[in-house]
Amino acid sequence: MTLYEKWSEIAEKDRTPQENEAFWKEYFLKEKDNYADILANNRKTLKGTLSELAGSFNMDTVTFTGFLDGINTSLTEEVDLESLEDTTELDIEIDYEKLYFNMLDAKADWLYNLTEWNDILSEDTRKSITKEFRISKMAVSSKVGRNEPCPCGSGKKYKKCCGKE
């Protein structure tokens, strides 16, 4: 069984709601510590074996594989999670702007509100990414309003032109 399969099994394990909450609360605290360390030390690249990196973040290799699963879409080049072993050499680069965007998308306020972001991305950059995120989540309708100009280009209102019954 691969490390990623072990992580998936642990993450998806049937638990009582209380056990599930306790499991994820403990994991999210570790995750928060990892991101705080990465940002505080501006660790844009992580190099070493999976086992070494897991140890540097005080995690076992299976839990660190879960962390990599979470950060994977924020890397300049994604890691093949299925092929990871303790001895796998990793050389990963984090795209901070993607990371911030993905934290917003995950609704992980305990991560995108970390004070360590202040030294990584300016407040204006964070606001810009937040605006981009919100725009990306807006529902856009292609429906033409009755009082809008007709899309046929006649210059008439839609209700007086193509929208006429």
Q: Quick: pLDDT tens for 66-82.
A: 999 999 999 999 999 99
Alpha-carbon distances of 131 from 50, 74, 101, 114, 141, rounded to whole Å? 35, 18, 10, 18, 19
Cα 165 to Cα 116: distance, rounded to the nearest angstrom: 59
In this structure, the number of other CB atoms found within 10 A of the CB of residue 90 comes to 16
Q: Using one digit for the tens of pLDDT, what is the confidence trace for 31-41? A: 999 999 999 99
pLDDT of residue 144: 86
Do the Cβ atoms of 150 and 158 come closer than 8 Å? yes
Cα 77 to Cα 152: distance, rounded to the nearest angstrom: 45
Mean pLDDT of 125-147: 90
pLDDT band at 89 (very low <50, low <70, confident <90, very high): very high
Phi, psi of 67 (to 5 degrees): -60, -45
Mean pLDDT of 4-22: 94
User: Is pLDDT of 165 > 80?
Assistant: no
Question: Per mean pLDDT, which of 57-61, 137-141, 146-150, 154-158 is the most reliable?
Answer: 57-61
> Per-domain residue ranges for the chain?
3-121
Burial (0-12, 13-18, 19+ Cβ within 10 Å), 88 = middle
**Four-CA torsion 44, 49, 54, 57, nearest 10 degrees:** -40
In this structure, the number of other CB atoms found within 10 A of the CB of residue 92 comes to 18
